[in-house]
Amino acid sequence: MAWYERLSAQDASFLVYEDQDAAAHMHVGGLSVYEAGALSSPTGGVDVERFRAYVASRLHMIPRYRQRLAAMPLSGDPIWVDDDHFNVRYHIRHTRLPRPGDERELKRLAGRILSQRLDRRRPLWELWVVEGLPDGRFALVTKTHHCMIDGVSGVDISTVLMQMTPDETATEAAPPWQPRPMPSATALALDELKDRAKLPFELAAATLPLLRDWRTTAASLRANLAGLAHVSGLAWQGAAQTPLNRPIGPHRRFDWTGVDLADAKAVKNTLGGTLNDVVLTVVTGALHTFLRRRRVNVDVLDFFATIPVNIRLPGDHEGGTKVAAWFAPLPLDVRDAGERFARVHATTSELKQQAHADPTRYLFKVADLGGPAALRAVVALEQSMNPSNLIVTNVPGPPFPLYVLGSRMVSANPLVTLLANQALGIAVFTYDGRMQFGFNADWDLVPDLHDLVLDTERSFADLRRAAGLDGAASAAGARATAASAAS
């Protein structure tokens, strides 16, 4: 039976971002490192064919990974259809590091892979198996288009390929899969005409409950108008001009570092905040040092971070994007790490208490009704209203080790996309006792990215000292790391 599915306006917006900016790559993902384990081949490399067979056996759990983009014939709205030429070998690539195969070479390779756009004629994902690391380890570089997943649903998808014990090394046969045919152009056009004919009735059906419960509707309207006024006020002043806020190119640098999660939790418990406050404080301290080194006067800088906020309901494991955004000022002018944490915590507490909603979600609802032209207008409006200097996203992962066919995942370093005039994006992922910072940056505008990585490590050390945790916390972190390594 013929099948297709429309993209939501928010998911389709990531395609529009790419269409409007030749330097934009709207894929998310990251790089994870694994012990060799049972995936070792007799020649000492990675048994890639076995890995491909394993991934193929799990794809029925993530149907979107065998679907490609198509377009409605009248409106041009993007839709998902089954890929009748799906080939898992195309999506799972295999490469090797040049000798000596160290972390520096791995970061350079990851940057080159992440600089390449995904081919829209095929399902929008790639998975690169990278061998040649020390001690027989290998890495996986993942790229999945943002229109398919957000950070939270991406974790759900990754668990489809991951296992919780090293004993599961058998690969089951892939279930039979038959791609459903795409409807004919005539059938799609008729569907569009029917949808347009039903639109007045759907609007009426959606409006009647709002009229009945007018008090709630009025409160929601006030909240969204307040949200729009808040964002418009920030947009009026515009994003602060820094060396990180210039037109970006297509090439990327990717770097990472990690801190002990037990230490981070000890800091937030001592200072009275959240892990997200720890992340933002560490980033603020690192940017303070980094920008001062670039001769930026941080004392007069209104520097804002976009913080994606999960609006996915409990139990919702569908793909697609379900996030809103905070716009948080980062106190780059503060030199003391303890005071910096207090300022960040006050900001995030205020954002949680604000009554107004995120207006961009409602703009996308309007775009759902208006078609591609309306969506392009909403994306252009959203970009013009963006007062942010960078994205900082924090996604919680599992607190226990995961495996792929008996090979333990040692580290997981996340990737966030770069938007227009934002040469840096920072993603954080917690996994198995570690908090991993992933840094995505424009190749030309941030040649000193690794200096920022080192600044991040020093900023976390400053925050630990401000919390008075130099001795106890590091000992607790060492015990947790040792226990994790032994498990």
What is the pLDDT averaged over residues 467-481?
57
Of 388 and 458, more confident: 458
CA-wise closest residue to 437 among 279, 284, 305, 331: 279
Rounded CA gap, 435 and 481, in Å?
12
This prediction's pTM: 0.87
Asked, for residue 174, whether it belongs to a domain, the answer is no
Same domain (yes/no): 309, 428: yes
Whether residue 484 has pLDDT greater than 50: no
Helices (H), 162-274: 185-212, 214-237, 261-271
* Residue 97 located in a structural domain: yes
Chain mean pLDDT for the chain? 85
State yes or no: cis peptide before 100, omega within 30 of 0.
yes
Three-state SS at 141: strand
Whole-number pLDDT of residue 482 = 42
Report pLDDT for 270. 97
Residue 313 confidence (pLDDT): 46
| Amino acid at position 305, single letter | A
Distance CA 30, CA 126 (A): 11
Q: Are residues 242 and 150 in the same domain?
A: no
**Percentage of residues of the chain with pLDDT beyond 90:** 64
> What's the rounded mean pLDDT across residues 251-272?
97
Burial class (CB in 10 A: 0-12, 13-18, 19+), 356: middle
The span from the CA of 359 to the CA of 87, in Å, is: 40
Does 487 score more than 60 pLDDT? no
Helix (H, G, I), strand (E, B) or coil at 142: strand
**Residue 96 covered by a domain:** yes
3-state secondary structure of 453: helix
User: Does residue 176 have a cis peptide bond before it, meaning omega lies within 30 degrees of 0?
Assistant: no
- Cα–Cα–Cα angle for 201, 206, 208, rounded to 5 degrees: 95
Among 135, 161, 187, give the residue marking a domain's end: 161
Chain-centre distance for alpha carbon 35:
25
In a domain? residue 99: yes
pLDDT at 456 over 70: yes
d(CA 412, CA 246): 29
Section 220-238 average pLDDT: 56
Regarding predicted confidence, which is higher, 83 or 317?
Answer: 83
Q: Name the domain count of the chain.
A: 2
In what side-by-side order are the strands of the sheet with 424-431? 252-260, 434-442, 424-431, 390-396, 303-310, 323-330
Same domain? 239 vs 134 = no
267 in the same domain as 156: no
Q: What is the pLDDT of residue 240?
A: 87
Check which CATH number belongs to the domain holding 471 and give it.
3.30.559.30
Between CA 116 and CA 12 the distance in angstroms is 20
Taking CA atoms, 315 is separated from 60, 269, 371, in Å, by 20, 28, 30
Residue 383: the pLDDT is 72
pLDDT reported for residue 171: 83
Mean pLDDT value across residues 125-135: 94
The pLDDT tens digits for 408-421 are 999 999 999 999 89
Higher pLDDT, 65 or 218: 65
Does residue 177 fall inside a structural domain?
Answer: no
Give the DSSP letter of residue 149: B
Q: Looking at 4-8, 44-48, 360-364, which range is the least confident one?
A: 360-364
Assess if residue 167 is contained within a domain: no
pLDDT of residue 169: 82
Q: Give domain status of residue 199, yes or no.
A: no
- What's the rounded mean pLDDT across residues 136-143? 94
What SS3 state is found at 408? strand
Instruction: List the CATH number of the domain containing 37.
Output: 3.30.559.10
Q: Which domain holds residue 78?
A: 5-161
The per-residue pLDDT for range 5-27, each reduced to its tens digit, is 999 888 999 999 999 888 999 99
Quick one: average pLDDT of 477-486? Answer: 40
pLDDT at 224: 56
* Greater pLDDT, 373 or 98: 98
Of 109, 140, 161, the position where a domain reaches its end is 161
At 368-405, the pLDDT tens digits run: 766 777 788 878 777 766 779 999 999 999 999 999 99
Q: Are residues 245 and 365 in the same domain?
A: yes
**Which two structure tokens, joined as six digits, stand for 219?**
């409160």
Identify whether residues 145 and 285 lie together within a single domain. no
Three-class SS state of 118: coil
* 153 within domain boundaries: yes
Q: 144 in the Ramachandran plot: left (φ > 0), alpha (ψ -120 to 50) or beta? A: beta
Which residues pair with residue 310 across a beta bridge? 323
Q: How far apart are CA 307 and CA 189, in angstroms?
A: 39
pLDDT at 315: 53
Same domain, 288 and 151: no
283 and 153 part of one domain: no
Q: Cite the active site residues.
A: 146
Single residue among 107, 135, 161 that ends a domain in this structure? 161
Residues 465 and 317 in one domain: yes
Which one has a higher pLDDT value, 209 or 104? 104
**Are 139 and 239 part of one and the same domain?**
no
Query: Does position 34 have pLDDT exceeding 60, yes or no?
Result: yes
Q: Quick one: average pLDDT of 165-186?
A: 91
289 and 154 in a single domain? The answer is: no
Q: Per-residue confidence at 429, pLDDT binned at 50, 70, 90?
A: very high
Mark whether 316 and 434 lie in a shared domain.
yes
